Amino acid sequence: MMTLDDAAMTGGEAALRLQIRRGVCHVLFAYDVGMAIDLDETERRIREMTQRATIKHKRRAPRYFEYRPAPVRVTHEAAPVLIGRYQTGPTVDALLYDFGGVSITYHFPIDGPLGELVTLSADLYDNPVLLADSRRRVEELVTAIQAAVRRPLFSDFVETYTIFQIEQLAPAPDVNDLVTTHAAVIAQILRSEGVALSQQEIADATSVHISFSARDVTIIDWDAALVIDPDAEDVLAVLEFANVELLEMRHLDQQLDDALDQAYEAIARRTWRRFALPGSSRADLRRIARLQVDGAILFEGVNNALKLLGDQYLARVYRLASQRFHLGEWDASILRKLETLESIYAKMSDVATGRRMEVLEWIIILLIAASILIPFLSGAPTH
């Protein structure tokens, strides 16, 4: 009877026989740099060659399937970075979105046995060299386009993702056979694990996959994806956007947590300032209203940046990536916090209105009392 270790060894030996003739490993780092980016102004300010990023359609799709607005791609020449036996290509790409997101991508040409990607994946996981270099590049880029960034704020959040794109394998496998026969090695690549994984972990890592034809397959995991497709530019673009969207959801969720904390503090201040002037709550209300608007604008900007209704296959790729990244749960959490913030604002506004009405009532009472007392006081005998 074959044990799990025997099966893993057999799969590993088969993976070593399966040769990558041509491929690229794309390492992505997503950052948030501000409230919004004026992309037209960005293009004017950057002297390097830039291009608007669009998705190249190798399948039929309506013309309205595009980014809205199209992000700006900036390509930098870069010295190679060596990771194991692999090194980065001569360029690094930066993709800037109008909602304040920036994606930095490094490209590693790959070849050789499929099983060797296990070592590369482990070396790339939380790689400090690439992380520091990507952060430096984003900071330099934001400095160069600072006037185009509205309310610049470099977030501490970073979302990494690795896409192993294999353009040609030899011998050419059937994609269904590949996902089953080489599942153990593929799971190690996606999970950046050098040790043999359990059957449950293997099944989970390789459970989300999709194919358009008999010769391509995309396997999506939470931290990496394996794309076997000679022409995968559109799939890569969707996965890159999903990674930036996850970063923005995390960033917005943290912003709303901070906003709720400030709102609770404002309420606490109002409870002991019982006899404060009626207009003293305006600053708190304006601040909370601004936090509401900022959160809603960012949420809508991210969710409406890419329209995928025109291409059913890419829509399915995006839906699978969203499920893997738990974007639906992030959306629900953000909407719930926006509703809570709205409720707090409404309650504070009601309290402020009530206090204004109370003050007006006392003013009316005092005026009535004065109108009654003044005749008596004016007619009183003087000495």
- CA-CA distance, 258 to 37, in Å (whole number)? 23
- CA-CA distance, 257 to 309, in Å (whole number)? 32
Which helix (DSSP H) or strand (DSSP E) does residue 222 occupy? Answer: none
> What average pLDDT score do residues 55-59 get?
49
Q: What was the pLDDT predicted at 310?
A: 59
> What average pLDDT score do residues 59-64 get?
42
pLDDT digits (tens, 9 = 90+) for 218-256: 999 999 999 999 888 889 999 999 999 999 888 888 888
Q: Is the pLDDT of residue 49 over 60?
A: no
Strand partners, 95: 73, 103
Give the chain's mean pLDDT: 81
Strands 224-228 and 159-170, by their bridges, are: parallel
Q: What percent of the chain has pLDDT over 90?
A: 35
Q: Is the pLDDT of residue 178 over 80?
A: yes
Q: How does DSSP assign 108-152, residue by residue?
A: EEEEEEGGGHHHHHHHHTT-HHHHHHHHHHHHHHHHHTGGGEEEE
- CA-CA distance, 360 to 261, in Å (whole number)? 32
Residue 162 binned pLDDT confidence (cut-offs 50, 70, 90): very high
Could you tell me which residue, 49 or 125, shows the higher pLDDT?
A: 125
Q: Is the pLDDT of residue 277 over 60?
A: no
> What average pLDDT score do residues 143-151 get?
88
> What average pLDDT score do residues 280-306 get?
68
Q: What was the pLDDT predicted at 214?
A: 82
Residue 301 binned pLDDT confidence (cut-offs 50, 70, 90): low
Q: What was the pLDDT predicted at 290?
A: 72
Could you tell me which residue, 69 or 111, shows the higher pLDDT?
A: 111
What are the tokens at 149? 């960034």
Map out the domains of the chain as residue ranges: 4-231, 242-377
Could you tell me which residue, 44 or 381, shows the higher pLDDT?
A: 44
Q: Is the pLDDT of residue 326 over 70?
A: yes
CA 308 to chain centre: 17
Q: Is the pLDDT of residue 3 over 60?
A: no
Q: Is the pLDDT of residue 15 over 80?
A: no
